[in-house]
Amino acid sequence: MAICNNRTVIITGAGGGLGRAYALAFAAEGASVVVNDIRLEAAEAVASEVTASGGQAIANNGDITTMAGAQSIIDAAVAAYGEVHVLVNNAGVLRDRMFVSLSEDDWDQVMRVHLKGHFCLANLLGKRWRDAAKAGNKIDARIINTSSGAGLQGSVGQSNYSAAKGGIAALTLVQAAEMGRYGVTANALAP
């Protein structure tokens, strides 16, 4: 029996790179996968790859950086598969420049996608899982955030990215401490 049978996972930034690899790995372990990527064609290609290999997946291009967009992603997952059990916050963006060369937009874009993008879905799903636990349901949910070595040690030319990824590491510690009582684990990867 695959370890993710009867589980639904939302993976952001899953239209390529590590997100694609996560989608394929979760599907191979029996999960139903919501392949989220701002690039719908990329999300559709990965979802097709999953279904061609016998898995279940839907493509989604909802905006992870707004609560309304995040809710639409959750709604699509629940409509397709009934529930969400795992969130993999993987989406990211780079605007690399030396610190004094960064524009306000370079800073804001990276913070919006990384920090706010990691917040919106996790916050809404966290409320959903908390409310279900308080109603007496057994919850076995996961939040998996993507930090980076740059966020743990800094990286020249990436002050915005490093700050965002460091924030994600700290956010994960708080999520783990607060959500464990409801049956939710929170962990961060730092590839």
For residue 7, count other CB atoms closer than 10 A to its CB: 21
Among the listed residues 32, 148, 159, 162, the single catalytic one is 148
For residue 174, count other CB atoms closer than 10 A to its CB: 10
Contacts (Cβ under 8 Å, ≥6 apart) of 118: 89, 145, 146, 168, 171
β-strand pairing of 56-60 with 8-11: unpaired
Q: Rounded to whole angstroms, how far apart are CA atoms 155 and 54?
A: 41
Quick check: is 161 catalytic?
A: yes
Q: Rounded to whole angstroms, how far apart are CA atoms 57 and 19?
A: 13
For tokens 């998996």, what's the residue? 144
Q: 148: which 2 tokens? A: 């980076």
Among the listed residues 81, 147, 159, 161, the single catalytic one is 161
Quick check: is 148 catalytic?
A: yes
Burial 41-52 (b: 16+ CB within 10 A, else e): ebbbbbbebbee
Which residues are catalytic, by number? 148, 161, 165
